[in-house]
């Protein structure tokens, strides 16, 4: 693992590079298959609904702002892409969560050159996967009320001229923060750090977290790339943890 701290997007790019690592790629196959099925379903729904939703949103533009309707069109189109990407990430994480704990465990071993001479047993892998699913429900308890709040606020802003420009920005920053939390929780959980403690620690690195989470969110809006983005994000989050979070854990421990 490189010593200098990487940028937020740098961790995602590192994750993409390591997807085919000999000691990691077998842990990526399960999430990839889930992502392919989810991609087909969500892309079909998005194509069916995109034009209708975009027309509904642009109809809210008052006539006196008609001369910049193209700007609203771009912003609302970008907002819908963010919704598509965020939905893909959230659903994909829930479905593939049993694979991500073991993946983060293996990535940490590879990055710290501490791979065991013998791989985890099937029983150990299943226990780690089961714990990851339980942890996912803890995160949902944090995410769901806030997702609903952000959606309601964005909907309210969409009816207010000029202020409706804030809606996509609000959705982006929330999505970036929540995805950074989502993926960093896998290495945090493996290192016995509670989710509430992770939030407190990450709030001290908010800019780096938003940069990392924002790069993930943008990647999930790009078809085909989004198939690889989520397992790559787990790898990148593990590197982020080792570089930026684990040293503090050792000092406080």
Q: Is residue 38 part of a domain?
A: yes
Q: Is residue 1 part of a domain?
A: no
Q: pLDDT per residue over 30-77, tens digit each?
A: 888 888 888 888 778 777 666 666 666 666 666 655 555 556 666 666
Binning pLDDT at 50, 70 and 90, where does residue 1 land?
Answer: very low
Residue closest to 60 by CA, chosen among 48, 72, 74: 72
Examine the pLDDT at 241 and tell me if it is beyond 60: yes
Give backbone dihedrals phi and psi of 122, rounded to 5 degrees, phi first.
-60, -40
CA dist 154 and 173 (Å) reads 12
Q: pLDDT per residue over 197-228, tens digit each?
A: 999 999 999 999 999 999 998 998 888 888 89
Overall number of domains in the chain = 1
Q: Is residue 13 part of a domain?
A: no
Residue 196 has a CB neighbour count (10 Å cut-off) of 10
Share of the chain above pLDDT 70, in %: 77
Q: Is residue 9 part of a domain?
A: no
pLDDT at 170: 87
pLDDT at 10: 94
Q: Is residue 14 part of a domain?
A: no
Answer whether 85's CB lies under 8 Å from 220's CB: yes
Binning pLDDT at 50, 70 and 90, where does residue 2 land?
Answer: very low
* 90 or 69, greater pLDDT: 90
Q: Is residue 221 part of a domain?
A: yes
Distances (CA, A) of 89 to 81, 186, 251: 12, 15, 33
In DSSP notation, 39-90 reads HHHHHHHHHHHHHHHHHHHHTTS-GGGGGGHHHHHHHHHHHHHHHHHHHHHH
Answer whether 157's CB lies under 8 Å from 166's CB: yes
Buried b (16+ CB within 10 A) or exposed e, 85-98: bbebbbebbebbbb
Region 181-193 average pLDDT: 92
Q: Is residue 66 part of a domain?
A: yes
Pull the structure tokens for residue 30.
Answer: 């399960």
pLDDT at 116: 54
Binning pLDDT at 50, 70 and 90, where does residue 167 land?
Answer: confident
Pull the structure tokens for residue 247.
Answer: 């040293």
Q: Is residue 224 part of a domain?
A: yes
Residue 62, phi-psi category: left (phi > 0), alpha (psi -120 to 50), beta (remainder): beta
Q: What angle do CA 213, 217, 221 make, to 5 degrees?
A: 165
CA dist 113 and 123 (Å) reads 24
Domain span including residue 137: 22-245
């Amino acid at each position: 693992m490189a010593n200098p701290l990487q940028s937020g997007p740098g961790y995602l790019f590192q994750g993409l590079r390591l997807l085919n690592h000999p000691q990691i790629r077998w842990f990526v196959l399960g999430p990839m298959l889930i992502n392919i099925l989810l991609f087909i379903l969500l892309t079909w729904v998005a194509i069916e609904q995109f034009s209708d939703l975009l027309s509904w949103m642009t109809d809210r533009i008052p006539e006196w702002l008609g001369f910049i309707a193209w700007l609203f069109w771009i912003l609302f189109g970008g907002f819908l892409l963010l919704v598509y990407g965020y939905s893909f990430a959230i659903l994909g994480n829930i479905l593939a969560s049993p694979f991500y704990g073991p993946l983060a465990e293996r990535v940490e071993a590879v990055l710290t050159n501490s791979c065991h001479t013998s791989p985890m047993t099937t029983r150990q892998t299943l226990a780690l996967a089961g714990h990851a699913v339980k942890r996912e429900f803890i995160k949902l308890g944090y995410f769901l009320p806030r997702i609903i709040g952000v959606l309601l606020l964005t909907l309210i802003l969409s009816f207010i001229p000029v202020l409706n420009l804030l809606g996509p920005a609000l959705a982006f920053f929330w999505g970036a923060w929540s995805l950074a939390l989502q993926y960093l929780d896998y290495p945090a959980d493996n290192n016995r750090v509670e989710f509430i403690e992770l939030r407190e620690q990450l709030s001290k690195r908010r800019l780096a977290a938003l940069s990392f989470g924002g790069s993930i969110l943008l990647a999930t809006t790009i078809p085909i790339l989004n198939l690889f983005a989520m397992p790559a994000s787990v790898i990148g989050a593990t590197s982020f943890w080792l570089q930026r979070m684990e040293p503090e854990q050792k000092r406080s421990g």
